[in-house]
Chain A
Amino acid sequence: MFFPLSTTTAKRQANSRFLQAGNRMIAGLLFLALPLFLSGCALFPAERLPLAPGRPDKAMAAGVPFFAQEELQCGPAALAMALNWSGVAVQPADLTPEVFTPGLKGSLQSALLGAARRHGRVGYPIAGSEPLLAEVAAGHPVIVLLNLGFSWYPKWHYGVVIGYDQEQGEVILHSGLTASEHLSYRVFLNTWQRSECWGLLVLPPDRLPATAEEEPWLAAVAGLERTGQWKGAAAGYGAALKRWPESFGAWMGIGNSRYQLHDLAASAEAFRRATLLQPKNGIPFNNLAQVLNEQGKRKEALASAQRAVELGGPLLANFRQTLEEIKAKPAHKNVRKHKKHPSRRTAN
């Protein structure tokens, strides 16, 4: 699946002269091209890898197995490499039904992200060279989407970046049929920036990316929540709290996960912390009320639900519902009975 990647030196020089002229032209059109400039990728790739203080000149993520891809199956192969590295034993062929779209003859980025979640791993997208090198230096392989062709004749391809070499100006990746392929940084960046430098980390939930930011990490972990992976979600929020102990979102998340794992006391504790962090926000009071009610602490539950309704906000209808339910059904045993009743009748 490779399109001619390497060009001769003469061609390269001609290219760069052409690009310089283009540079001037685009400077005039800066105004129209504003989003392009600010999209996170350099418009004209440099020969050398960007340097950062404290980052080693050479790095290689250890323990990334290589799977040679079958035709059109670069998505499943790349994901299998990342998943196996993260501790999930899975073959590319097992992933094909989860990520491959036959009609498109390829795998979508969102499908890779979703499949990572289904295997209990956090998919964390990154963009740009700086985070890419930082993650590889931290020992994390990165799935990258490359366009090996041109923008008008695309040949999309997934590879896994496993290392870089500053001195040689090379990026090392498992790609296609080649393990540990050495690609010049210039060629890599040329093909990578056509996907707006899209990269994906596939991590165990308790391992934060080196370049983790609070909100994107929490959103990525909340994806696990949606697939019902509550243990993984709890671990992800726990990792967030180690880095950002005052994170409101992480306390809410860990409260929700513990509730689903039937650890009511720990859940209530987490929601209490959240109410202290954002005393004007009704959501933690609403959730705390539900937990307290199930613990049989009706008085406290009513007070907390009442507080949520007083604080109001866009979710006021939900808060009111919570308050009414607690008023109507004091102990949680009654609630269970009510809910079970109709299902028993279906069985008859």
Chain B
Amino acid sequence: MLQKIIKPVSFLLVFSFLLLDLSVHAAKAQMIDTSTVLAAQRTETDRARVAAFLGREDVRKVMVQQGVDAAEAQKRVASLSDAELAKISKTMDQLPAGGDGIGAIVGAAVFIFVVLLITDLLGLTHVFSFVNHHR
């Protein structure tokens, strides 16, 4: 009984795997679709924004106070994934743009965000779930 069905079943299996392989092949050779194009653009913008944020004078000051190497923090940003960058960028959206002249409370919020972000990036803390640790 088993011997009888084993042949057609195995043929079917082999064949379905063949189809599977072909479809993957075809998908890979397709054109890059527009959603992917838009996502790639967004990532580029996010990366530039986060890098620019870490390059800001007041943010640098915080880093120096905390004894953090600014160049190292920038390197960590470069190694973040797209989704992580998007989340950081989104969190940054909720911070006031200027960072100075708005008030002490706002300044403190930026300060805490920067310290936690940087220490997270350096692997000292783990507050933001979106920061990956490469160690």
Contacts and interface: CB of A to CB of B under 8 A. Distances in A.
Interface of A: 30-31, 34-35, 38, 215, 218-219, 221-222, 225-226, 233, 237, 248-249, 252-253, 256, 259, 283, 286-287, 290, 313-315, 318, 321-322, 325, 339, 342, 346
Contacts of B109: 31, 34
Contacts of B32: 283, 286-287, 315, 318
B33 interface: yes
Contact of A286 (B31, B34, B93, B106): B31
Contact of A283 (B26, B37, B106): B37
Interface in B4-48: 15, 18-19, 22, 26, 28-29, 31-38, 40-42
Given A31-B105, A34-B109, A248-B41, A253 B34 contact: yes
Contacts of B36: 283, 315
A187 B125 CA distance: 45
A215 B38 contact: yes
B40 A222 contact: no
B42 A325 contact: no
Contacts of B40: 283, 313-315
Contact of B33 (A30, A225, A314, A346): A225
B94 interface: yes
B37 A252 contact: yes
Contacts of B64: none
Given A218-B34, A256-B34, 12 more contacts: A30-B106, A31-B109, A34-B95, A34-B109, A38-B93, A218-B38, A225-B34, A225-B35, A315-B32, A342-B18, A342-B19, A346-B19
6 contacts: A226-B35, A233-B34, A283-B40, A318-B28, A321-B28, A342-B22
By secondary structure, the B interface counts as: helix
Contacts of B106: 30
Nearest to B43: A314
Q: Which 5 A-B pairs give the minimum distances between C-beta atoms?
A: A253-B34, A252-B37, A222-B34, A222-B35, A287-B31
Nearest to B108: A31
B31 A290 contact: yes
A30 B33 CA distance: 43
Given A314-B40, A315-B40, A342-B18, A325 B29 contact: yes
Contacts of A233: 34
Best-surrounded residue of B32, B42, B106 (most CB of chain A within 10 A): B32
Nearest to B95: A34
Interface in B73-128: 93-95, 105-106, 108-109
Contacts of A346: 15, 19
Contacts of B94: 34-35, 38
A219 B38 contact: yes
Contacts of A225: 33-35
A215 B28 CA distance: 26
A273 B133 CA distance: 40
Contacts of A318: 28, 32
Given A31-B108, A35-B94, A342-B18, A249 B41 contact: yes
B34 to A, nearest CB: 4
A249 B34 contact: yes
A220 to B, nearest CB: 11
Contacts of A253: 34, 37
Contacts of B22: 339, 342
Best-surrounded residue of A38, A215, A222, A259 (most CB of chain B within 10 A): A222
A209 B26 CA distance: 37
Contacts of A325: 29
Contacts of A283: 32, 36-37, 40
A294 to B, nearest CB: 10
Nearest to B103: A30
Contacts of A252: 34, 37
A345 to B, nearest CB: 9
A270 to B, nearest CB: 11
B34 A215 contact: no
Nearest to A225: B34
A79 to B, nearest CB: 23
B52 to A, nearest CB: 18
Contacts of A222: 33-35, 38
B46 to A, nearest CB: 12
